[in-house]
Amino acid sequence: MKQGTSSPDYLGLGFEMLDRELRFLTECLREVLIELGHRDLAEHLPWLGQTVAGDSAPWRLGLAYSVAFQLLNMVEEHAAGEMRLLRERNEGNTAERGLWGQQIARLRAQGLTAEEMLAAMQQVRVEPVLTAHPTEAKRLAVLHQHRLLFGLLDDLVDAEGSLHVQRGLRERVKAALERLWRTGEILLEKPTLADERRNVLHYLRDVFPSVLPALDDRLFEAWQDAGFDPEPLFVPGALPRIRFGTWVGGDRDGHPGVTAEITAETLAELRVQAVGVAREQLTDLAAKLSLSTWMQEAPPTLQVALGAAGDLVKHDQPWRRHIENLIAKLPGSGADSYTYSAELLADLDRLSQSLDEVGAHRLAEADVAPVRRTIEVFGFHLAQLDVRQNSVFHAKAMTQLLGAAGLSADDWDEWSEPERLRFLERELRSPRPFLHPSASAGPEADAVLGCYRALASHMERCGANGIGSLIISMTRRLSDLLVVYLLAREAGLMRAFPEGIVCVLPVVPLFETIEDLDQGPDMLRAFLEEPVTHRSLAFHAKRALRAGQLLQQVMVGYSDSNKDGGILASQWALQKAQTRLAKVGHECGVNIRFFHGRGGTVSRGAGPTHRFLEALPHGSVSGHLRLTEQGETIAQKYANPATATYNLELLLAGTTATTALHARPGEEFPQLIPVLEKLAAASKRAYRSLLDHEGFMTFYRQATPIDALEHSRIGSRPSRRTGQASLADLRAIPWVFSWNQARFYVPGWFGAGSGLAALAPEELATLGEQMRHWPFLHYVMTNVESSLASSDPTLMTQYAELVPETELRDELLQMILGERDLTLRMLEQLRGGPIAGRRPRMLKTLELRAEALRVLHAQQIVLLKEWRGRRDRHEDVSADAMLPDLLLSINAIASGLRTTG
């Protein structure tokens, strides 16, 4: 920006674009509805200056509003992206917080040299893991139309000033909207695992490979603009590494549909799709490298390669011919095909060398390097498939295995922990299994061993790159981890060496509840001190070419800890646990790679990526980072190339900066630890006073649509782990989803007010002052504030009217509303004023949705009352007939809130 010129009002410009594009799309939707004979719905659409319908609104209005909210979400995303581009164009690439330009400038301001930044980049390995928890409330076909419409918004910006082009665009938009309307919003059948796999494969195959070049270009541009030499970035291994993972087809925690056959199919399909990506990349490269022998002779490296392939050097386009030979060697092409992607990478390196030999350095960097980068990221596996199972399931499998082997008739759960450990440590000295591979031990044992054998078979044929880790959810004690080694031994996943047996796949604890997070560090120390663990980590390090660098993955869960103790107690427990876990790793000579099990809402760990990374405890990030991307957040972050590039850049740049800063001494806040302990404890007491109330489950099941969600078809996974109708058995996702639908948002804020009110005035003042300096504190309180702002006391009261017991309803509603008022007052006191001046974007998005959402909530309340009445009267047929309308209301509200669970 020129000196002396004032900065544009980006906020105002963004709001203008949002309003303009929203009106355009809504007008198009109105025209489509009228043309399809739905004038009654068209007349009630929001944002066109019309009066939104009241209680007399037609029931199908929910579908119209759902589509309208989807358009609003799309426009908000598009306007945000356009404003980012405008800011960078005017202010330079340091203008946008969290991206490469700003992060490099931040590191320079902290005194880091280019060499230190490059060293940090080389340590970075970031892995988003796509999961299919039951949070995506939209059909796959609907998401496809969303992607098409988003692209048309880009075209609309480019077409400004051309009425002819705009008219054509309007017709294309209307066609997409008609397809969206005719497709319908409701899933008449639950999606299958194949459906969920197909959705995830779309991102892995069609989105992420296409955005990699732009992602790297952003780094190169920011690096050069900072005045640094770009050459070191072209050295293989210099760029921060990004990989992808998935749980679809591997996560069997409480999901009986994920069988060994499903896992084997998923691994095979991932490999097929990865080879497809490689083929497309190489085919495009062959078209580019049409260099002829008329302009330059084939260099020695290329001659050797072509000779080895039985080709003649006299071929007019030898580089192109060589690439065609590489395509012919892709897996599945014949007896001489590649087995491992490393073989293809070696051939691509020779291709680059042959271009260098004729002076075509630019072509090696511009054409071959991006293909090499893609193969390096996706290999022949596309993404690593994790296998997750619950420790309780493993215990049942162990009981059956011991019984079948004639070793014990007792239930494994009845063994004391010392008895378990003595038995396990004795057994883990031997490589021999208990049973013959063909023997059956029982349903749980057969399920675990069948899965592990499928993994072993895939590794034998294709290598280990496509398989991630064996993750044990609800890890409660050391034996929960060691028992996995014994089960792995039974299925051929252990190898014998002179020094002892090793597990060929990483075994990963998942600490989820507050109690488990507290006990986790001691458990991790004991696990790392086990000889079989140490040998296995050394084996993995050797295989990954990490000389002497042992790496243990530890997963921490945000959802169950929040459900267990509330937002502040959960966040503080996670902060403390990560600090202690990282320290245990350091003391044991092992780097800890944290795997963050985050969901799509604040109460499940969501929040702006760069803020999340800045808030991690100092010393907990040493380059390696995994995190889940769940449900609707996948589409929100990655459905469109520009948005996908932005979110992946936030993740890569933020992890690099955090890694570099965590390698240096960081600011400590010991004076705040007693205050945080007091805050978390008081907050948890208030939260548990609600959940432990004698009538809480009755209130919860009647004041929220949890029962309707349990009948929904938004995911293949059951809403409960074991099917028991208890709070403990209910998954965190429907728990959060149901509170959001009824606009309570309890998991995101309840207890925060009581926690803050328990502090002395000077403690509260200190906390408010330190929020400017401690990113963790700022991040947590901002997220609580966001959840609180999304709650609505009027709607909460209306949903509470569904609870027939007046005394119970009034008592619990007053508890919730009283805590909300207290939290609002305490946050204003902590932050020094109301939210309005600090969060204009958030208030704008809430305001745009408010009126239409009130209509949908009113309809849902009526539907719930009638549906429950029919079920109580055992009118099952008529109750089932209501489900589509009820589920449509859930989807429409989820679209309006832009969140489920």
User: Is the pLDDT reported for residue 720 higher than 60?
Assistant: no
| Least confidently predicted of 310-314, 657-661, 889-893 | 310-314
What local confidence, expressed as pLDDT, does residue 898 receive?
79
Q: How far is CA 667 from CA 16, 399, 536, 619, 780, in A?
A: 41, 49, 35, 11, 18
Query: Which runs of E-coded beta strand occur in 620-670?
Result: 624-630
Identify the residue with better confidence: 720 or 227.
227
Rounded to 10 degrees, what is the CA torsion of 498, 499, 501, 503?
A: -120
What is the pLDDT of the chain when averaged over all its residues?
Answer: 90
In terms of phi and psi (left: phi > 0; alpha: psi -120 to 50; beta: otherwise), the region of 359 is left
Active-site residue, selected from the candidate residues 78, 133, 322, 534: 133
Average confidence (pLDDT) over 812-835: 94
- CA angle, 325 as apex, 360 and 296 as ends, to 5°? 30
What local confidence, expressed as pLDDT, does residue 159 receive?
65
User: Is the pLDDT reported for residue 381 higher than 60?
Assistant: yes
DSSP 7: P
Active-site residue, selected from the candidate residues 38, 202, 563, 610: 563
User: Is the pLDDT reported for residue 795 higher than 80?
Assistant: yes
DSSP 299: P
Q: What span, in angstroms and rounded, lies between the C-alpha atoms of 433 and 93?
A: 59
| Least confidently predicted of 114-118, 301-305, 514-518 | 301-305
Average confidence (pLDDT) over 828-832: 91
Sequence-distant contacts of 697-703: CB under 8 A, at least 24 apart? 697/726, 697/727, 698/803, 698/805, 698/808, 699/800, 699/803, 699/808, 699/809, 699/812, 700/727, 700/738, 702/802, 702/803, 702/804, 703/742, 703/744, 703/799, 703/800, 703/802, 703/803, 703/809, 703/812, 703/813
Average confidence (pLDDT) over 490-516: 95
Is 501 in a helix, a strand, or coil? strand
Average confidence (pLDDT) over 373-384: 96
Strands 500-503 and 494-497: antiparallel
DSSP 476: -
Q: Mind listing the pLDDT tens digit for each residue in 235-269?
A: 888 999 999 999 999 999 878 889 999 999 999 99
User: Is the pLDDT reported for residue 2 higher than 70?
Assistant: no
Residue with the two structure tokens 């590494």: 241
User: Is the pLDDT reported for residue 640 higher than 70?
Assistant: yes
> Taking the chain, what is the end-to-end CA distance rounded to the nearest angstrom?
42
Q: Mind listing the pLDDT tens digit for each residue in 857-900?
A: 999 999 999 999 999 999 999 999 998 888 888 888 988 887 75
Q: What span, in angstroms and rounded, lies between the C-alpha atoms of 361 and 357?
A: 8
Half-sphere exposure in the Cβ direction for 570 (13 Å, CA)? 32
Buried b (16+ CB within 10 A) or exposed e, 558-584: bbbbbbbbbbbbbbbbbbbbbbbbbbb
Kindly indicate the confidence band of residue 55, based on its pLDDT and cuts at 50, 70 and 90: low
Kindly indicate the confidence band of residue 57, based on its pLDDT and cuts at 50, 70 and 90: low
Q: What span, in angstroms and rounded, lies between the C-alpha atoms of 860 and 541?
A: 55
Kindly indicate the confidence band of residue 294, based on its pLDDT and cuts at 50, 70 and 90: confident
Q: Mind listing the pLDDT tens digit for each residue in 509-529?
A: 999 999 999 999 999 999 999
Q: Mind listing the pLDDT tens digit for each residue in 431-467?
A: 999 998 889 999 999 999 999 999 999 999 999 999 9
User: Is the pLDDT reported for residue 41 higher than 50?
Assistant: yes
Q: How many residues are present in the chain?
A: 901
Q: What span, in angstroms and rounded, lies between the C-alpha atoms of 327 and 306?
A: 13
User: Is the pLDDT reported for residue 277 higher than 80?
Assistant: yes
Q: How far is CA 630 from CA 137, 213, 561, in A?
A: 12, 25, 17
Buried b (16+ CB within 10 A) or exposed e, 397-413: bbbbbbbbeeeeeeebe
What local confidence, expressed as pLDDT, does residue 716 receive?
46
- CA angle, 153 as apex, 149 and 156 as ends, to 5°? 130
Average confidence (pLDDT) over 562-580: 95
DSSP 50: P
User: Is the pLDDT reported for residue 605 higher than 70?
Assistant: no
| Least confidently predicted of 161-175, 219-233, 393-407 | 161-175
Q: What span, in angstroms and rounded, lies between the C-alpha atoms of 611 and 598?
A: 14
Average confidence (pLDDT) over 814-820: 98
What local confidence, expressed as pLDDT, does residue 112 receive?
95
In contact, 719 and 735? CB cutoff 8 Å:
no
Strands 624-630 and 125-131: parallel
Q: What span, in angstroms and rounded, lies between the C-alpha atoms of 409 and 877?
A: 47
In terms of phi and psi (left: phi > 0; alpha: psi -120 to 50; beta: otherwise), the region of 139 is beta
Torsion sign across C-alpha atoms 867, 870, 874, 879: negative
In contact, 88 and 218? CB cutoff 8 Å:
no
Residue with the two structure tokens 């386009």: 317
Strands 245-246 and 500-503: unpaired
What local confidence, expressed as pLDDT, does residue 190 receive?
66
Catalytic annotation present for 394 = no
User: Is the pLDDT reported for residue 402 higher than 80?
Assistant: yes
Catalytic annotation present for 576 = no
What local confidence, expressed as pLDDT, does residue 336 receive?
86
User: Is the pLDDT reported for residue 137 higher than 50?
Assistant: no
Its pTM stands at 0.92
Average confidence (pLDDT) over 472-499: 95
Q: Mind listing the pLDDT tens digit for each residue in 678-705?
A: 999 999 999 999 999 999 999 999 999 9
Percent of the chain's residues with pLDDT above 90: 69
The closest of 129, 232, 117 to 653, measured between CA atoms, is 117
The closest of 627, 601, 854, 866 to 735, measured between CA atoms, is 601
Kindly indicate the confidence band of residue 76, based on its pLDDT and cuts at 50, 70 and 90: very high
Tell me how crowded residue 667 is: count the other CB atoms within 10 A of its CB. 8
CA 494 to chain centre: 31
Average confidence (pLDDT) over 387-415: 94
Tokens coding 224 = 């050069």
Q: Mind listing the pLDDT tens digit for each residue in 167-210?
A: 888 999 999 999 988 887 555 566 788 888 988 999 999 999 99
Kindly indicate the confidence band of residue 164, based on its pLDDT and cuts at 50, 70 and 90: low
Residue with the two structure tokens 């087995």: 339
In contact, 217 and 204? CB cutoff 8 Å:
no
Strands 125-131 and 245-246: parallel
What local confidence, expressed as pLDDT, does residue 135 receive?
41
Radius of gyration of the CA atoms of the chain, in A: 28
What local confidence, expressed as pLDDT, does residue 607 receive?
77
Phi then psi dihedrals of residue 720, to 5 deg? -120, 145
Q: What span, in angstroms and rounded, lies between the C-alpha atoms of 506 and 595?
A: 13
The closest of 590, 578, 597, 721 to 658, measured between CA atoms, is 578
